[in-house]
Amino acid sequence: PLLYIPIALLSHFSITVLYLACVLGLYLYQRRSTCYESNGTHRFLEQYIYNRELYVQFDSNSAAGVFVAVSELGLLTAKNWNIQKEFLALRRSAVDTVCKHNFELDEGFTLQRRVQPHVTVSPSKKGHLRHHNLLVCHVSDFYPGHIQVRWFLNGQEETAGILSTNPIHNGDWTFQILVMLEMTPQQGDVYTCQVEHPSLDGPVTVEWKAQSDSARSKMLAGVGGFVLGLMAIGVSFILRFRSQRVVPPDAQFLSVCILIQCTYSFSSFSSQLRDIS
115-173 pLDDT tens trace: 999 999 999 888 677 788 999 999 999 999 999 999 999 999 999 999 999 999 999 99
Label residue 25 left, alpha or beta by phi (over 0 means left) and psi (-120 to 50 means alpha): left
pLDDT of residue 9: 34
- Cβ–Cβ < 8 Å for 208, 151: no
State the virtual CA torsion across 128, 129, 134, 139 in degrees, nearest 10. Answer: 100
Q: What is the pLDDT of residues 254-264, one digit of tens each?
A: 444 444 454 44
Peptide bond into 144 cis (omega under 30): yes
- How far is residue 139 CA from its own chain's centroid? 7
At residue 251, what is the residue type?
A
- What integer best gives the mean pLDDT of the chain? 79
User: How far is it between the farthest Cα atoms of the chain?
Assistant: 111
Tell if the pTM clears 0.85, that is, is over it: no
Per domain, the residue ranges of the chain are 5-106, 118-209, 213-276
Nearest to 168 by CA among 176, 160, 179: 176
Q: What is the pLDDT of residues 197-221, one digit of tens each?
A: 999 999 999 999 987 655 455 544 5
Report the pLDDT averaged over residues 173-187.
94
At residue 61, what is the residue type?
N
Is 90 exceeded by the pLDDT of residue 6?
no
- Cβ–Cβ < 8 Å for 33, 98: yes
Return the CATH fold of 118-209: Immunoglobulin-like (2.60.40)
First to last CA, the chain: 62
Find the range with the poorest average confidence among 3-12, 62-71, 154-163. 3-12
- How far is residue 142 CA from its own chain's centroid? 3
Is 70 exceeded by the pLDDT of residue 230?
no
The dotted CATH code for 5-106 is 3.10.320.10
